Amino acid sequence: MKLAATASWIHKWLALIVGVQVLFWVASGLFFALFPIEQVRSEHRIAELSPSALDASALASPAEFAPLLRAPPAKISYERDAAGRAVAVVEFAAGRPALVDLDAKALLSPLGREAATALARAYVAKAPAVRSAVLVEKETPEYRGALPAWRIAFDDAEGLAVYVAADTGRVTARRSDLWRVYDALWALHIMDWRDHENFNNGFLIVFSVMSLIVAIAGFVLFPYRLGWVRRRSD
């Protein structure tokens, strides 16, 4: 076979194999370009919380709330939660962390439904009514953060759901209908249909190589198609 005939055969048959995936790449890439990542992450829905510094001299020392803890702490982080309370997030050498209310000297974790809902509502600007509050204890395609976590779903047009870690009270994720479409397209884009995060998988590498070969074959055929080079008959 001459060069043009070989390139034509490769271009035709490989394009049939990779054509659908190329369509997914182009369509999903256009979607990613159209929607800013900040909108996908629902950053426009975050409430503007008034920052207030923690007075170190007024903070409870670890010894004061040590009786509340199940083990000696390995790390303590002092912060204000979304509701404005001074809290300590206590981490241990092993096991789940704990959340302590520094003013009340009380253990808050694991958070219940009402406490998690209140934190989620404080975090969302002009928070609409809550549609549901579900405790998530296993990873899902939508959420792979700290567990267990409360999924607080709001009754709004964006389908917003906020995840609050039950052990730390921290908001660990925001999900919306736009994010869910983005995630589905991302799975198609990187060809990881299970975990939606591995872009070094074999499928992606093989299809990328085949697409590259199709493109190279197309460039080889280009001068022949324009008549710049005449194909020799066998």
Instruction: For 206-227, write each residue's pLDDT tens digit.
Output: 888 888 887 787 777 777 666 6
Q: In which band, very low, low, confident or very high, does the pLDDT at 84 lie, cut at 50, 70 and 90?
A: confident
Rounded to two decimals, the pTM is 0.81
Domain locations in the chain as residue ranges: 3-37+182-225, 43-175
Dihedral of the CA atoms 202, 182, 137, 90 (nearest 10)?
100
As a whole number, mean pLDDT of residues 106-119 equals: 95
Token pair recorded at residue 126:
């002009």
Give pLDDT, residue 99.
95
Give pLDDT, residue 234.
44
**φ, ψ for residue 99 (rounded to 5)?**
-120, 125
Rounded Cα gap, residues 81 and 60, in angstroms? 16
Which comes out higher in pLDDT, residue 149 or 19? 149
Give pLDDT, residue 133.
97
148 prior amide bond cis, ω within 30: yes
Give pLDDT, residue 215.
79
